[in-house]
Amino acid sequence: MLLGARLPITRVRPSFAIAARIRHSSSDAVSEEVRKVMRRVPQPVVVVTTADKKQDVWHRRGITVSSFTPISLHPEPIVSFCVRIPSRASEVLHSSGGMVVNILSQEQVRQSVAFSSPNQTDQFKDVPFYDDPTTGQPVLMGTIGSMHCKVSQVLELGDHELWITRVCKVDQGVGTQHGRREETQPLLYHDRMYRSVGEQVFMKAFEEASLDTKLWTHRAHVRMAWNYLREGGRHQASPIIKETIRRHFESNPNTKQRYHETLTTFYIHLVDLALSQSPEVDDFFDFIERYPQLTDRGAIYEYYSHDCIKSAEARNHYVPPDLKPLPNKLKCI
């Protein structure tokens, strides 16, 4: 197979009878039952890393994946994982044909958060890794273990690709900062409201106030609000969102950012408004693509003057807009 050639994809199309059952199974009642079951199932946090060489330059990508499953051991070991499409990670995987499946240890929450944001420019910055001398693929350090894989088959299922891969080599990881393998524990999440693995990891870091300050961006604020508002609605979620932000700043006193009541309330209003318009969107990155104004830090100045936002009153208490009323509808792309 030539590098750069897109891998053949099998598109699975269900029969009419199966499609009818699938439509029935997508009802709200059944979806809620799925959530109740899945919240009890421990899920490993796995990061798939890959690299593609173009014009003598390696382009690395990584993604926190869901549905990682060992399929067989004989006659050769086979594992699978799912990747959302379209995505940059999918493109690089198709170009490369090879990847490393990194099974994270309990001490690697920061790494899992870094790779759960697909649009981040340099995902590997400040993340310990090395390039395998044979394949050139990036391998994360400190994991439970890393499996070097080659693609066997790719199935397109809805808005995801199922990657079925052959394991060619395994690096047994140390998994702890102390270098004692027997202490290694995997990074798992269970017994909580069901989210994708990436959202679980992201929200766990928020709730424990352990999110690295370098990852505490405006988009991170919006993402956190989106998760809480989807689960509890505005009345229940607003105080939780505000308390989580306050707690983060209190645990990171050296950051230049400080809690701002009016700013926080404004973006809670926008996110809640967008959710009311598009309740069917269950992926954060699809959500912000539909409503790009949510990631615009300057959007507030359409409604508030700079002097108003910079005032101590606006920082400590909610104040209404001084330019024009808050919107009651957002433009959806």
Would the pLDDT of 155 be above 50? yes
Cα 220 from Cα 254, distance rounded (Å): 19
pLDDT digits (tens, 9 = 90+) for 277-300: 998 887 787 788 889 889 888 999
Give the number of other CB atoms < 10 A from CB of residue 305: 12
- The domains found in the chain, sorted by start residue, are 42-174 (2.30.110.10), 198-316 (no CATH)
- 308's tokens: 């108003």
pLDDT tier for residue 6 given thresholds of 50, 70 and 90 = low
| pLDDT per residue as tens digits for the range 232-262 | 889 988 998 898 888 877 777 666 778 899 9
State the pLDDT confidence band at 18, using cuts at 50, 70 and 90: very low
Kindly provide the b/e burial profile for residues 188-212, where b requires at least 16 CB atoms within 10 angstroms of the residue's own CB: ebeeeebbbbbbbbbbbbbbeeebe
pLDDT of residue 195: 47
- 3-state percent breakdown (helix, strand, coil) of the chain, nearest 5: 40, 25, 40
Cα separation, 260 vs 264, in Å, equals 6
- Who has greater pLDDT, 107 or 9? 107
Q: Which two tokens stand for residue 194?
A: 């069901």
- Measuring CA to CA, which residue among 114, 290, 103 is closest to residue 198? 114
What confidence tens digit (pLDDT) does each residue in 189-233 have?
655 443 455 566 666 666 666 666 666 678 878 888 888 898 888
- Average pLDDT in the chain: 80
Q: For 251-312, what is the HEC assignment?
A: HCCCCCCCCCHHHHHHHHHHHHHHHHHCCCCCCHHHHHHHCHHHHCCCHHHHCCCHHHHHCH
Residue 157 φ/ψ, nearest 5 degrees? -130, 105
Torsion angle in degrees (nearest 10) through CA of 160, 163, 164, 168: -160
More confident position, 273 or 8:
273
Residue 37: pLDDT band by 50, 70, 90 thresholds?
Answer: confident
SS3 assignment, position 318: coil
Place of tokens 């750069």: 4
Specify the pLDDT at position 328. 93
CA dist., res. 32 & res. 65, Å (int): 22
- First CA to last CA distance, the chain: 38
The angle subtended at Cα 196 by Cα 8 and Cα 111, nearest 5°, is 90
Other CB atoms within 10 A of residue 257 CB: 12
- pTM here is 0.59
Percent of the chain with pLDDT over 70: 74
pLDDT digits (tens, 9 = 90+) for 50-107: 988 776 777 888 888 867 899 999 999 999 998 888 887 788 888 888 999 999 887 7
Q: Percentage of residues in the chain with pLDDT exceeding 90?
A: 32
Tell me the C-alpha distance between 265 and 285, whole Å.
22
- The pLDDT score that the predictor gives to residue 192 is 47
Show contacts of 58-61: CB within 8 Å, 24+ apart. Answer: 58/131, 58/136, 59/92, 60/123, 60/124, 60/138, 61/88, 61/89, 61/92, 61/93, 61/123
More confident residue, 213 or 111: 111
Tell whether the model's pLDDT for residue 12 goes beyond 90. Answer: no
- Better-predicted residue by pLDDT, 332 or 58: 332
Tell me phi and psi for residue 163, to 5 degrees: -95, 120
Residues 6+ apart with CB under 8 A from 169: 147, 148
